[in-house]
Amino acid sequence: MSHPDVIVVGGGIGGLGAAFSLTRQGLGVRLLERAPAFGEVGAGIQLAPNCTRILDDYGLLNEAKSLGLVPDAMVMRDAVDGGELTRLDLRNLERRYGYPYLVIHRSDLHGLLLRACERAGVELITDAQVTSYENTGRGARVILSSGASHETGVVIAADGLHSLARRLLVDDEPVSSAYVAYRGTVPAEQPRVRSVDLSEVVVHVGPGCHFVHYGLRGGELLNQVAVFESPKALAGAQDWGTPDELDAAFAGTCGFVQERLPFMWRDKWWRMFDRDPVMNWIHGRIALLGDSAHPPLQYIAQGAIMAIEDGWVLGEHVARRRAADGTIDWDAALAAYEAVRPEHCRRVVTTSRKWGELWHLDGVAREQRNALLRTRDTYDYTFVDWLYGPTALTPDEEPPMFEPIPLESAPAYTVR
Q: How far apart are CA 133 and CA 204, in angstroms?
A: 43
Q: C-alpha angle with apex 131: 41 to 269, nearest 5 degrees?
A: 25
Strand 29-32 and strand 6-9: pairing?
parallel
Q: C-alpha angle with apex 14: 389 to 69, nearest 5 degrees?
A: 60
Yes or no: say if 217 and 47 are a contact pair by the CB < 8 Å rule: no
For residue 323, count CB atoms less than 10 angstroms from its CB and return exposed for 0-12, middle for 13-18, buried for 19 or more.
Answer: exposed
Work out the angle between the directed axes of helices 90-97 and 49-57 (0-180°, nearest 10): 50
Strand, helix or coil for residue 349: helix
> Which secondary structure element, helix H or strand E, spans residue 82, and what is its range?
none
Yes or no: say if 101 and 70 are a contact pair by the CB < 8 Å rule: yes
Q: How far apart are CA 278 and CA 338, in angstroms?
A: 11
97 is catalytic: no
Q: Which residues contact 137 (CB under 8 A, 6 or more apart)?
A: none
Query: Phi-psi region for residue 219, left (φ > 0), alpha (ψ -120 to 50) or beta?
Result: left
Q: How far apart are CA 292 and CA 277, in angstroms?
A: 11
Strand 209-216 and strand 221-229: pairing?
antiparallel
What ranges in 259-378 are assigned the alpha helix state H? 303-320, 330-359, 363-375
Q: How many CB atoms lie within 10 A of CB 353?
A: 17
Of 101, 214, 299, 337, catalytic: 214
Known catalytic residues are 214
